[in-house]
Amino acid sequence: MTIDRSRRARAARKRRRRFLAADNDLTPAQWTAIRVAWGGCAYCGASDASLQKDCVLPLSRGGRYTLDNVVPACRSCNASKSNDEVTGWLRRKRLDEPRFLLRWAQIVVDLRTRLSESEDFIDVSSTTTTDSES
């Protein structure tokens, strides 16, 4: 039992170092938008479960917590996928790989468009305020 705990602690420290070393720029607003866009677990579709952030390309394989790489996952799917490559894991679990990949790409494009439009609005409104103060 003690060995298991120390192994888990070492793994947690290693994961934390990888996380801190990577460029992770997912904002809380982006995470909320991702959860709303998927409407549940990205892998199994469970909507009543508590959703966790899952990196499509795991941190251990060079992934980061970014808009392009994070999907909501239920605890079961997140634990099952672990640090596996998503397409191999989907095939092994006999889940619809092409459907997931297509939906993932569509959601990322949609979110990027919507978020860039809202950033443009913020930039324009802040510029307008500055111009009117002059």
**How many whole angstroms from its chain centre is CA 87?**
16
Q: How many residues does the chain have?
A: 134
* C-alpha pair distances (Å), 78 with each of 27, 49, 70: 20, 12, 12
Residues 56, 40: Cα–Cα separation, whole Å:
15
Residues 96, 101: Cα–Cα separation, whole Å:
9
The model's pTM is: 0.71
pLDDT of residue 51: 95
Q: What is the pLDDT of residues 42-71, one digit of tens each?
A: 999 998 879 999 999 998 888 888 999 999
- Listed in sequence order, the residues at least 6 apart from 112 whose beta carbon sits closer than 8 Å to its beta carbon are 67
Residues 30, 125: Cα–Cα separation, whole Å:
21
Q: What is the pLDDT of residues 87-99, one digit of tens each?
A: 999 999 999 999 9
Backbone region of residue 45 per phi and psi (left: phi > 0; alpha: psi in -120 to 50; beta: other values): left
Q: What is the pLDDT of residues 2-36, one digit of tens each?
A: 667 788 888 778 777 766 665 678 889 999 999 99
